[in-house]
Amino acid sequence: MTVAERSWPEGRRELFDDAAGDAATALASLRDIARANRFLGGAAAALERLETFFRAAPRGATLTLLDVGTGLGDIPRAARRRAARAGVRLRIIGLERHAAAARHLAADGATTALRADAALLPFRSGSVDLVLCSQLLHHFQGEAVTRILGEMGRVARTAVVVADLRPSPVAAAGVWLASFALRFHPVSRRDAVTSVRRGFTPEALRLACARAGAAADVRTHPGYRVTAAWRPRAADGTAP
How far is the C-alpha of 31 from the C-alpha of 100, rounded, in Å?
A: 12
The terminus-to-terminus CA distance of the chain in angstroms comes to 30
pLDDT digits (tens, 9 = 90+) for 111-131: 888 999 999 999 999 999 999
The arrangement of secondary structure in 17-230, i.e. its CATH architecture, is: 3-Layer(aba) Sandwich (3.40)
How far is the C-alpha of 207 from the C-alpha of 211, rounded, in Å?
A: 6
pTM, 2 dp? 0.90
Side by side, which strands form the sheet with 62-68? 111-115, 89-96, 62-68, 128-134, 156-165, 225-230, 217-221
How far is the C-alpha of 223 from the C-alpha of 196, rounded, in Å?
A: 11
pLDDT digits (tens, 9 = 90+) for 129-150: 999 999 999 999 999 999 999 9
Residue 239 confidence (pLDDT): 35
- Amino acid at residue number 26: A
How far is the C-alpha of 199 from the C-alpha of 226, rounded, in Å?
A: 9
pLDDT over threshold 60, residue 20: no
Could you tell me if residue 144 is left (phi over 0), alpha (psi between -120 and 50 degrees) or otherwise beta? alpha
3-state DSSP percent of the chain in helix, strand and coil, to 5: 45, 20, 35
For the chain, the structural domain boundaries read 17-230
